[in-house]
Structure 1
């Protein structure tokens, strides 16, 4: 086992459901099929789990010897008939049905080599939305990382062959689940090996398997989910923290930098969020004009200096440090093209571990849907324009709605720049007490002048040189 997942109190006696791909993870030759259930139960018992376990094996059972089927059914393992190419699809639809009927706390276990390439994308998004305990078993160790975060993992053969003193004794114990054989294509259910064998060998079954064919492609549930959701009660007044990559998503030419904060806050309020908002603008501030930095700072936006080579990693590190000090409920927002691209799996892992809301903004729409499950997404320039009007008391007027729909489709034109530059004194906010900082040297500066002094210092130059030597 690679990552042990000792049971938390709320999961210790909760239900456990196991979906077993018998093609990828078959019963080893000579292995007593009656030991499959007790081996799995014993592994969970060792981690402190004692809840009822249901196990279903999926595969072409015409190829499974009768003694294997009898051994499994004698211990309450259900067996499903499915052609090999559709087994993952049937397993996944069964998982979704089970999740609908069994809210957390509960535990899921997937036994398959396809967990990474077939199941991981949608399942990790589901786990970000509604967290279950999740365990994996597979025949060979995976080569690459995944967005799916399990509580524990086993090599299938090791799981079956681990010597536990009470496994043999549990073989003859009473079963928690009645044995069941079923065939989805024919809507067949039975409780005898003989009857099941007759069914899967019949001409009627052969016809139904073709006419009621189960499509091999998984029906990814979250692919059709909307992008922007109204705030759930627990997040409506919770803190919102924003990391803004000013390299990927710069302030458009001519745009009043003092409008960045009200634009974001206006967009949040439109979705029902009214919690305190902290914003950190990350970038190479040697390249950022002083008037931009002053305007941002005047509205309470933090400014963190970095260099292009490490800005994504520094933002991700800052996010992890913030997470350690700020438990949910809270909302994280990332404004960047590259952070998500480079750290997508790690961010998904974090969101499966802890229930944060996630907002994204980017300069262009990604070419494929991310594994990250978001509560809201925006195009950066549209967000800057729309937020100004959403924060206005007049934006509900029908004519304003029509105008807003039109203006969002435009690029940031000179005419619109002129309008947005007319920022009133009341929108500027009070002088900021926020810090300027250097993400490279891990130091804070109390003013723009202090930051400029630091960035021109020898100590900073040495720090940058060392960092560049490490990453190049």
Structure 2
């Protein structure tokens, strides 16, 4: 469930609709709302969608900002810029809690995506991530985030990746040893949730 400090704050969603096309007879707003409300997020949601087609050729729901970018590299770069601007605009002395959610595939040649998500998460933002159903952490680095969902689970408003599975993915990608070198086991695993469901990865 959402930590109390994040339950009622703004949620910014960055969704690449080419990477993760919206299923037929579903909507981005409905998918996001179903998932977030189930996990106790009640704040205002801002959604930016990125894709190949112009809005008039690919109309989305009211309230969603559409950014037309045909090339995957360009879409990912724009997501990175928008994500970083939201985080940077929320600075001291009036910094407030924010939830930032990314629904987009990384590409193994691009390291900024991984680094930015992990850095913002380390700065105590609430970072949520969606992974493809088929995902190889050896090919694409897994950032250390608060919650991660598989695509199918996101669409079904299901559970995030269980804690042991998430850390197994970090192990496979060679990241867990680096990330957790200075943490105790209790800090890493956040033992508040013993069954591994609905937990928060971030220490």
Please report the TM-score for the alignment, with normalisation by the length of structure 1.
Answer: 0.31
Detail structure 1 runs of 4+ shifted over 3 Å in the superposition.
115-118, 319-324
Match of 2:70 in 1: 83
CA distance in 1, matches of 2:80, 2:157: 28
Match of 1:123 in 2: 117
- Kindly provide the CA deviation profile for residues 332-390 of structure 1, in whole angstroms up to 9, marking residues without a partner as x: xxxxxxxxxxxxxxxxxxxx934xxxxxxxxxxxxxxxxxxxxxxxxxxxxxxxxxxxx
Task: Tell me the secondary structure at the aligned position of residue 136 of structure 1.
Answer: strand
Question: Judging changes above 3 Å, is the alpha-carbon distance between structure 1 residues 116 and 141 closer, same or farther for their aligned structure 2 residues?
Answer: farther
Q: Which runs of 5+ in 1 are unaligned?
A: 1-5, 164-312, 325-351, 355-472
CA distance in 1, matches of 2:33, 2:74: 28
Q: How far did residue 123 of structure 1 move? A: 2.5
Higher Rg: 1
Match of 2:25 in 1: 32
- Kindly provide the CA deviation profile for residues 102-126 of structure 1, in whole angstroms up to 9, marking residues without a partner as x: 3441101000111776311233133
CA contact (8 A) 2:38 2:157 kept: no
CA distance in 2, matches of 1:107, 1:81: 24
Question: Judging changes above 3 Å, is the alpha-carbon distance between structure 1 residues 97 and 152 closer, same or farther for their aligned structure 2 residues?
Answer: same
CA distance in 1, matches of 2:20, 2:185: 41
Tell me which protein shows more helix as a share of its residues: 1
CA contact (8 A) 1:104 1:131 kept: no
Match of 2:202 in 1: 353
Map 1:48-197 to 2 at 5 A. Answer: 48-62=40-54, 66=57, 68-69=58-59, 72-74=60-62, 76-84=63-71, 85-102=73-90, 103-114=95-106, 118=110, 119-128=113-122, 130-144=123-137, 146=141, 148-162=143-157
Question: Judging changes above 3 Å, is the alpha-carbon distance between structure 1 residues 115 and 38 closer, same or farther for their aligned structure 2 residues?
Answer: farther
Question: Judging changes above 3 Å, is the alpha-carbon distance between structure 1 residues 94 and 320 closer, same or farther for their aligned structure 2 residues?
Answer: closer
Task: Tell me the secondary structure at the aligned position of residue 33 of structure 2.
Answer: helix
Task: Tell me the secondary structure at the aligned position of residue 106 of structure 2.
Answer: helix
CA distance in 2, matches of 1:81, 1:95: 16
CA contact (8 A) 2:120 2:127 kept: no
CA contact (8 A) 1:57 1:79 kept: yes
Match of 1:11 among 6, 11, 25: 6
Question: Judging changes above 3 Å, is the alpha-carbon distance between structure 1 residues 50 and 353 closer, same or farther for their aligned structure 2 residues?
Answer: same
Q: How many residues align?
A: 161
Q: How far did residue 90 of structure 1 move? A: 0.7
Q: How far did residue 39 of structure 1 move? A: 1.5
Query: Superposition RMSD on alpha carbons, in Å?
Result: 2.9
Map 1:302-317 to 2 at 5 A. Answer: none
Task: Tell me the secondary structure at the aligned position of residue 83 of structure 1.
Answer: coil
Q: Which runs of 5+ in 2 are unaligned?
A: 159-176, 188-200
